[in-house]
Structure 1
Amino acid sequence: MEVRAGRVLVHCAAHGAGRPVLVLHGAGVDHREAEACFEPLLRDVPGLLRVYPDLPGSGRTAAPPTLGSADDVLATLLAFADAVAGAGPCLLVGHSAGAYFAAAMAARRPDRVAGLALVCPLLPGVRDVPEHRVVAGPGGLGDDGFAGYFVVQTPEMLDRYERFVAPAAALVDEAAMERIGARWELSGDDPPYPGPTLVVAGRLDSTVGYAAAVDLLGSAPHASLAVLDDTGHALPHEQPELLGALLAEWLRRVERAG
């Protein structure tokens, strides 16, 4: 389905009914990766409308030439959330660059967000990023994209990469990504989101590391933090059972918070 969000017509997949939960994918992919990873963890939770948009310049969501910065993407996502959630609060889940935008959305409009979950978040202050290394699998599988993304390099993970990650590459608007990437830092200095928050990072994440995610624990007043060993930036693929348990606990906190 498509939703008008300001200047952008956002393509998305949606499942279920109830309180909207917007799940934002990372850079270089589209909604199919987020859907493949998070839908099995959320589909049995009653009362949730799970929405997986293609971010501007990814998948089937075009990025018009007037969209030229991270601030423009954020404005689009806020308009998209308004269109999908209406007057009620929504839940936000983000992976990688999607977490960067989800955190900013929650900080800008805390009264419109019931809970925030950040997985392998791209955050300001990225540092101490470890070198990539493989912890499981025979090695020598797949292309360079797979080899540099997964630390669990088994045939099962390669199958997931080839079905849910690699197909998005041909749909990425490289010119738009370059344009937005040149102005990637969001403006403003909003305080962290004060509501129920989950932060999950991979100890072996060679893309964004985990140190900046750990920093959030000191500033977000209702954040739970998990740093998973033997896991990289592809954490939602590599640790689905543990991620599912953490999301379930987060949803219980959201319900308690009302």
Structure 2
Amino acid sequence: MQLHVIDTGFFKLDGGAMFGVVPKTLWQRTNPADENNLCTWAMRCLLIEDGDRLILIDNGIGTKQDAKFFSHYYLHGDASLEKSIKQAGFAPEDVTDMFLSHLHFDHCGGGVKYNASTGAPELAFPNATYWSNAAHWEWATKPNAREKASFLRENILPMQESGQLQFIDPAAPSPFPQFDIFYADGHTDKMMVPIIPYKGKKVAFMADLLPSTGHIPLPYVMGYDTRPLLTLDEKAAFLEQAAREEYVLYLEHDAVNECCTVQQTEKGIRLGSTFPLNEV
């Protein structure tokens, strides 16, 4: 098995929204904001090369939204989804499985594109099976008012209409022997966090359970989370296990750090070390 970092560029989100009730005087130490109170975040995906399967975990924000939409998020950086896949030695047609941690626009927008000739939506990975789970799909396609702006129909429905969408059943044998899946309900219903055995370690793709190293202290919970108290419990349990078992935490949104470890201290779970994935 080989893991490849897939960088899809950076965007900006409000620092207060990203850290909830934690005051700026604290969170700006790790995530400095610009003059508009916006912090820079990565959209870092992961490609798993394993035998005849090429599994992409998440795919960034995509390119199909209009200028007004993108003006809210200040996309920047030289990386792109297609460019990063090419740098890893592959093409979009090579991807066999498109695994979606959840269906918020910055995690799944790159999975659907518009055909340049017809303007019709089509899958960016034409030979891939797209994977979600039934509970989260229901949550995303019948969204609550709080999350409605994050679940965009044009990102989601073409997956089903293509016939290439499949659901993972948490109670059944997994279609992915390459990794285990931790289900988290605090950020959004049934978000999936893959935990991948790799080079004698366990690499956890943290999605929005832990966006950055700045979110390691337990109260540092996003304002976007639908059930913040549940996030506290899920994060506490997960990070305690990660400290005990020396997990490598792969960070989807940290603008600086690809990976980190955590450790138990007198003040609770805190940052251990940071490093790029290629040092695992």
TM-score normalised to the size of structure 2? 0.27
- Between structure 1 and structure 2, the one with the greater Rg is 2
Specify which structure has the higher proportion of strand: 2
Specify which structure has the higher proportion of helix: 1
TM-score normalised to the size of structure 1? 0.29
